[in-house]
Amino acid sequence: MSNDETPIRFGIIGCAEIARKISRAINLSPNSTLYALASRSIEKAHNFAIQNNLFSDSLKIYGNYSEILDDPFVDAVYMPLPTTFHLHWAILAAEKKKHLLLEKPTALNVEELDKILDVCDKNGVQFMDASMWYHHPRTGKMKEMILDSKLFGQVKAIHSSSSYAPGLEFLENNIRVKPDLDALGALGDAGWYCIGAILWTMNQTLPTTVTALPNVARNSAGVILTCSASLYWEKEETVATFYCSFIAHETMDLRVYGSNGTCYLYDFILPFGEDSASFNFTSGAKFVDLHIGWNVKPQVVEVTSQLPQEGYMIQEFASLVKAIKFSRSKPESKWPHTSRITQLVLDAVNKSIDTGFQPVHM
């Protein structure tokens, strides 16, 4: 088998619910294969494989995380562990030279993430966080149109939201509301997407200031269930806001307002369907005479896809790993940079909340 045909062998560390989706994506992607699966017990890993139709003679099943990292045939690992455990296991994976697809939020703070990225860099390991929406072809089309100065002009304002109301069982027992497992709560889980979308729109440029808004809700353990913030870019004169919550109706909105255009979508994190995704785009809109209507209606831009967005993510990650493994390429720096500035802004929101909603200067 030639290098072009050799699939990247993935291991999954942890049988979280999201691992069901990623295991499917690994098998759908044309350049990867699910080679190994690890959980804290062999029984749990075995049951996960059977329940998700993954079980085969070639799949390696491990009853602890260390064994999968010691397997010399594992090229890369997907790690959907609670955020508290990322620092320890991500560093061990990088030290074993396993390319790392890490579930978001990447760490409890940027200091922890920097330690992970430093070990990845020293060991020539590709790092990427598992924010799937970046990899959908719709995302590239939106960027193309927003960057067109004639169509869109300058970005003036951005709003994003990520909210859902999973119910009492989630709010009492899910790891995302446990301070010892995922202390960042809704800010880390849902807010990560909002911050990422805003920074994506601003070409990964850090804002001048970040200010949390005084609508924070916490559970009895102090974990954030709802929060909002504003971001401001002084040079560009651009403002952004976001809202994230575990106790509000499902939203996944992204709205970008330019000096000559607007871009709206309501499903930026998870498209309404796997085969295609759309967004509304308006350029050069004016009121008609007597202000009885508009001169244009929003254009619905439809983008088809051959894979679900998580499949595109796996395909891109595996391509980067292949280039490192077979062509001696260096890891792509775009993805650790994207994660790091998202973490920096997330930390700034947290700091603003903790200091009574004072602006944090970046």
Q: What is the pLDDT of residues 190-230, one digit of tens each?
A: 999 999 999 999 999 999 999 999 999 999 999 999 999 99
3-state secondary structure of 55: coil
Percent of the chain topping pLDDT 70:
99
Bridge partners of 99? 76
pLDDT of residue 5: 80
> pLDDT, tens digit, for every residue of 98-151?
999 999 999 999 999 999 999 999 999 999 999 999 999 999 999 999 999 999
Reported as a pLDDT band with limits 50, 70 and 90, residue 56 is confident
List C-alpha distances in Å: 275 to 160, 227, 309.
24, 33, 10
Residue 26, pLDDT > 60, answer yes
pLDDT of residue 3: 67
pLDDT of residue 55: 84
Instruction: Specify the amino acid at residue 317.
Output: F
Contact 211, 230 (CB under 8 A): yes
pLDDT of residue 180: 97
Measured CA to CA, the distance from residue 14 to residue 21 in angstroms comes to 13
Measured CA to CA, the distance from residue 277 to residue 274 in angstroms comes to 7
Reported as a pLDDT band with limits 50, 70 and 90, residue 303 is very high
Residue 42, pLDDT > 80, answer yes
pLDDT of residue 306: 96
209-219 exposure pattern, b = at least 16 Cβ within 10 A, e = fewer: bbbbbeebeeb
- Sign of CA pseudo-dihedral 140, 299, 198, 252: negative
pLDDT of residue 57: 83
Reported as a pLDDT band with limits 50, 70 and 90, residue 2 is low
Listing from the earlier edge strand, what are the strands of the sheet with 99-102? Answer: 60-62, 32-38, 8-13, 76-79, 99-102, 127-129
**Phi–psi pair at 342, nearest 5 degrees:** -65, -45
> pLDDT, tens digit, for every residue of 310-351?
999 999 999 999 999 999 999 999 999 999 999 999 999 999
Measured CA to CA, the distance from residue 160 to residue 142 in angstroms comes to 15
> pLDDT, tens digit, for every residue of 152-197?
999 999 999 999 999 999 999 999 999 999 999 999 999 999 999 9
Reported as a pLDDT band with limits 50, 70 and 90, residue 1 is low
Percent of the chain topping pLDDT 90:
98
